[in-house]
Amino acid sequence: MPILKLMTWPEVEAYLAHSRGIIVPTGSIEQHAAAGLLGTDAICAETVAQEAARLAGAMVGPTVELGMAQFNLGFPGTLSLRPSTLVAVMVDYIKSLAVTGFTHVYVLNGHGGNVAPIRTAFQEIYAERSFGGTAPAPYCRLVNWWDPAPVSKLRRDLYGGSEGFHATPSEVALTAAVHPDRVKPAGFPAGMPPPEGDALIQHGGDPYFDAADHRARYPDGRVLSDPSLASAAAGADIIRVAGEAIAADYRAFVASQASNASA
């Protein structure tokens, strides 16, 4: 499985001779409750991206580890980009890929706060072309690693209503499979924390308020989740199922747009 940062430019040129697609993982560095790794979202996206790329014969681009996580800045260790900064980073990243020959950019995301900025970045690229620009505009697709139906079903089967929305047992299990020496699910308190006030405000893409409000609502960092249920064995199953589902979706994405990209 080719990983761009571990390749030479002639190797990338040879890859582009037979494939012009790439998987780009995006995540976040932010709190994941008292026993969760700060890099959980980046680790999950990168791990699933590499498994999917192995199955699909795709290249994996460098992980965008910093995301839009301003609402978690009340917890030490969280690092956040402004939404506008993440848009600019993604525009430049994708346009760099396009200029060097990539025509299909599949962004595999691991953090809800990134969804709106990344979609905005796509539209900025498309709009530049629509308004008369001549720069290459690759086909772009954004998928969260937990989106495919088989992954959603596995998460429900494993954890039901205890999955929650942040510091979830599924993402903790995945990181435990990758870093068993660092992730200890038993270090989390058992049971789900009670919601404080209106816990979920138009939830989807992590549209929380500011950092002070977020820390007050979720003082230990969990959002209606019980990560103590996680296990490395379940994490290995999640990686396998997610990798297979994302590989299939990536193949379909590249194939469905191939004729248009070559026109």
Beta bridge partners of 223: 166
CA distances from 65 to 14, 29, 69 (A): 27, 6, 11
Q: Does residue 182 carry a pLDDT above 70?
A: yes
Element housing 251 (H / E):
helix 232-262
Q: Tell me, what's the pLDDT at 261?
A: 43
Q: Quick one: DSSP state of residue 167?
A: S
The fold for domain 4-262 equals: Rossmann fold (3.40.50)
More confident residue, 213 or 30: 30
Q: Tell me, what's the pLDDT at 70?
A: 96
Residue 260's pLDDT band, with cuts at 50, 70 and 90, is: very low
Pick from 47-56, 99-108, 144-153, 187-196: least confident: 187-196
**225 and 169 Cβ atoms separated by less than 8 Å:** yes
Residue 259's pLDDT band, with cuts at 50, 70 and 90, is: very low
Domain ranges of the chain: 4-262
Residue 263's pLDDT band, with cuts at 50, 70 and 90, is: very low
Instruction: Classify 149 in phi/psi space as left (phi over 0), alpha (psi -120 to 50) or beta.
Output: alpha
Average pLDDT, whole number, for the chain? 93
Q: Does residue 168 carry a pLDDT above 60?
A: yes
The arithmetic mean of pLDDT across residues 64-84, rounded, is 98
Residue 40's pLDDT band, with cuts at 50, 70 and 90, is: very high
Give DSSP secondary structure letters for 179-245.
Answer: -TTT--GGGSPSSPPPP-SS--SS-SS-----HHHHHHHSTTS-BS--GGG--HHHHHHHHHHHHHH
Q: What is the C-alpha separation between 146 and 242, in angstroms, rounded?
A: 7
Edge-to-edge strands of the sheet including 104-109? 59-60, 21-26, 104-109, 139-144
Residue in the block written with tokens 């772009």: 140
Q: Does residue 262 carry a pLDDT above 50?
A: no
Using DSSP's 3-state secondary structure scheme, residue 139 falls into strand
The model carries a pTM of 0.95
**58 and 250 Cβ atoms separated by less than 8 Å:** yes
Rg (CA), the chain: 19
Q: What is the C-alpha separation between 49 and 109, in angstroms, rounded?
A: 9
Q: Does residue 257 carry a pLDDT above 80?
A: no
Q: Does residue 36 carry a pLDDT above 90?
A: yes
